[in-house]
């Protein structure tokens, strides 16, 4: 189950500012996707209360949440927003406890217990406690903090790999350990500093975590976090027990919108979102796909609103060129095919790209 935090973690991306209209369009897109939970922002963020009020009537079964520091005053503000869930962040590594909070482990636990109790007294029904920098914390202490939060009434523990240092193997062990010792929901928040956020998030879900944080295009602090479009597509199309609650046919449109709004260009080979992920020019692949597309495609392009692109160029062989000529009803003499193939390759190398249909027609007529 996915917690999309494009409007909280994603909005923290350097130089990115979402206006109200943009936020509403992102929320609408995430609702269409079927996101389980949306983290709409952080306590104190300008316009957050109004955004929550706008989203509440249309949210359906999607839970609305906000992030709050581990402070009573902020938790009281969060309780007044009328969201379904409040995510309280608290660091558990000694590095953060000492240098950021200026306290010790005992002081941290006292603050945590007091904050969770305050949230419960204020009527927050679902209290999520995010253990920040859990990947660099003493595991026994982090687990003790999680158990304390559970005893005080927390509904969920969220483990944060705040600087993206975990590998899938280490995440598997960490998530399994916490799952084994907790009776409440477990979530993960995986950063992408070494390019493993989506893999770590998926691994945690497979190891027993109930939720994983993600954002559209993985945008967020520094290198960002796990990508919503990658997790939703995998869970829907490739997981053995896939979660068919995610409607992925509009995911690429949402990615393109966020790309423009956040100023983050989408690489043409970006998983799920890239424009050329179903484009093929290589002779062997083109020939094989003519027989059966699933030989070289992990899923049908239609399921994510994409199009298959097959072109001929400098990497194409005789069968690929012949297939393209047949597909586009381009008349040619079979004896001229070798010459046409050579001409296709030469022109493609000259242009440094595959040929368009019109270029293929013109070239064939010339031979």
- Residue 145 and residue 34: Cα distance in Å, rounded? 32
Q: Identify how many contiguous H helices and E strands the chain contains and give both numbers.
A: 14, 10
Asked if residue 238 lies in contact with residue 299, where contact means CB atoms within 8 angstroms, the answer is: yes
Q: What is the DSSP track for 257-268?
A: HHHHHHT-PPPT
Domains and CATH numbers, the chain: 2-262 (3.20.20.70), 279-365 (no CATH)
Of 228, 237, 258, 243, whose CA–CA distance to 301 is shortest?
237
Q: How would you write the pLDDT of the chain (367 residues) with one tens digit per residue?
A: 999 999 999 999 999 999 999 999 999 999 999 999 999 999 999 999 999 999 999 999 999 999 999 999 999 999 999 999 999 999 999 999 999 999 999 999 999 999 999 999 999 999 999 999 999 999 999 999 999 999 999 999 999 999 999 999 999 999 999 999 999 999 999 999 999 999 999 999 999 999 999 999 999 999 999 999 999 999 999 866 555 679 999 999 999 999 999 999 999 999 999 999 988 775 555 555 556 677 778 889 999 999 887 777 776 777 777 767 776 677 776 766 777 777 778 777 777 778 777 777 676 766 6
pTM here?
Answer: 0.89
- Residue 28 and residue 228: Cα distance in Å, rounded? 15
């Amino acid at each position: 189950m996915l917690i999309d935090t494009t409007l909280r973690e994603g909005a923290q991306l350097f130089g990115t500012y979402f206006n109200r209209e943009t936020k509403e369009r992102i929320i609408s897109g995430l609702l269409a996707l079927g996101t389980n939970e949306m983290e709409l922002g952080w306590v104190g963020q300008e316009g957050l209360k109004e955004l929550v009020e706008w989203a509440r009537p249309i949210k359906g079964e999607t839970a609305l949440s906000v992030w709050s520091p581990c402070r009573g005053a902020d938790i009281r503000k969060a309780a007044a927003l009328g969201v379904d869930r409040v995510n309280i962040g608290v660091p558990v590594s000694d590095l953060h406890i000492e240098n950021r909070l200026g306290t010790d482990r005992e002081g941290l636990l006292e603050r945590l217990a007091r904050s969770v109790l305050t949230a419960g007294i204020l009527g927050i029904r679902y209290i999520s406690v995010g253990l920040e920098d859990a990947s660099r914390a003493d595991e026994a202490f982090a687990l003790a903090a999680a158990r304390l939060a559970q005893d005080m009434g927390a509904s969920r523990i969220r483990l944060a790999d705040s600087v993206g240092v975990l590998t899938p193997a280490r995440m598997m062990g960490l998530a399994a350990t916490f799952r084994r010792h907790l009776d409440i929901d477990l979530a993960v928040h995986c950063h992408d500093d070494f390019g493993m956020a989506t893999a770590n998030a998926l691994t945690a879900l497979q190891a027993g975590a109930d939720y994983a944080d993600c954002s559209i295009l993985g945008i967020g602090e520094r290198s960002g976090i796990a990508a919503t479009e990658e997790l939703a597509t995998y869970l829907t199309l490739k997981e053995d027990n896939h979660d068919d609650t995610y409607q992925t046919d509009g995911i690429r449109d949402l990615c393109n919108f966020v790309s423009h709004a956040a100023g983050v260009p989408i690489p043409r080979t970006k998983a799920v979102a890239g424009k050329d992920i179903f484009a093929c020019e290589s002779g062997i692949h083109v020939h094989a796909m003519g027989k059966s597309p699933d030989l070289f495609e992990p899923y049908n392009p239609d399921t994510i609103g994409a199009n298959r692109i097959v072109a001929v160029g400098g990497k194409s062989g005789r069968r690929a060129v012949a297939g393209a000529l047949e597909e586009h009803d381009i008349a040619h003499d079979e004896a001229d095919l070798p010459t046409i193939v050579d001409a296709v390759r030469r022109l493609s190398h000259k242009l440094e790209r595959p040929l368009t249909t019109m270029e293929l027609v013109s070239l064939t007529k010339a031979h």
